[in-house]
Amino acid sequence: MKSAAWIARIVALAVLLLLLFKPQVFQPILAPLAENGAPALYDRASLLDLTLAHLAIVAGASLVGAVIALLAGIFVTREAGAEFLPLARSVVNIGQTFPPVVVLALAVPVVGFGVKPTLVALILYGLLPIFESTITGLKEIPSATIDAARGMGMSATRQLLAVELPLALPVILAGLRLSVVINLGTATIGSTVAAKGLGDVIIAGLQTSNTAFILQGGVIVGLLAVLIYDAMGIAGRLASRHVVDGAVQ
């Protein structure tokens, strides 16, 4: 089973690299999907450049969103912040309640077109998984472990950094993985407000009824989501094992 999983990863990565660096390989497959003599391969911009721009937006939004959600999750699990949990939960739910397109429409008049409204939409949309996973991870820590840390004379800050967060890390990372994958797909709508990314390819296909363009953009986004989710899972397991072992020692 493990060998099959690694073969699937290698195949997915190989297809992604070919799409980015040698897209002409797929010309025979995509040509029947382009009607009325339309080009089968997207040539208005480099697919590699669009992919890197797409990933940069996702990385920036995920980083900011992770910091906000993590700090908020920690705050509401402390005694001083417990009463703010309903309010914080309502705020982070905004991103899931309002579609990203609506957030974009509201953000454009304030921050203008381009990357900024896209970042706003992605940050709001990605808060919930990390916020909830932070709360769940911290609340699932056995009370006996917390009591032992206090009995050792740890301050509240040291207890949080040396015991609670390391033990909650696997759950927090699971929420982060989900948030990043959500943002990878959602970032495609950024092209509607002039944010450079893989949405350019998909929207160009929709505007010209070119299924080949839509397939190129969709496949690249899908492969990125699968590979990044998988890679984050592997890295998360390794990091969690290392951090938890350090906390135990």
Q: Does 20 fall in a domain?
A: no
| Per-residue pLDDT, 94 | 80
- Cβ atoms 171, 140 nearer than 8 A: yes
Q: Does 232 fall in a domain?
A: yes
- Cβ atoms 227, 16 nearer than 8 A: yes
Number of H helices, E strands in the chain: 12, 0
Q: Which residues contact 160 (CB under 8 A, 6 or more apart)?
A: 74
For a pLDDT cut of 70, what percent of the chain falls above it? 96
Q: Is the pLDDT of residue 248 over 60?
A: no
- Cβ atoms 180, 228 nearer than 8 A: yes
Closest CA to 122 of 44, 184, 73: 184
Q: What is the pLDDT of residues 114-173, one digit of tens each?
A: 888 899 889 988 899 999 999 999 998 888 888 888 888 888 888 888 888 888 888 999
Query: What is the domain count for the chain?
Result: 1
Q: Does 235 fall in a domain?
A: yes
**This prediction's pTM:** 0.87
Mean pLDDT of 50-63: 94
Q: Does 87 fall in a domain?
A: yes
- Cβ atoms 121, 107 nearer than 8 A: yes
Q: Does 164 fall in a domain?
A: yes
Q: What is the pLDDT of residues 13-24, one digit of tens each?
A: 999 999 999 999
Q: Which residues contact 13 (CB under 8 A, 6 or more apart)?
A: 223, 227
Q: Does 188 fall in a domain?
A: yes
| Per-residue pLDDT, 82 | 86
Domain residues for the domain of 75 are: 43-248
Q: What is the pLDDT of residues 85-107, one digit of tens each?
A: 999 988 888 877 777 777 887 88
Q: Supply angle C-alpha 44, 48, 49, rounded to 5.
A: 70
| Per-residue pLDDT, 1 | 61
Diameter of the chain by CA atoms?
A: 76
Q: How far apart are CA 17 and CA 211, in angstroms?
A: 21
| CATH at 219 | 1.10.3720.10
Burial class of residue 180 in the structure, from the number of CB atoms within 10 Å of its CB (0-12 exposed, 13-18 middle, 19+ buried): buried
Q: Does 125 fall in a domain?
A: yes
Q: Does 135 fall in a domain?
A: yes
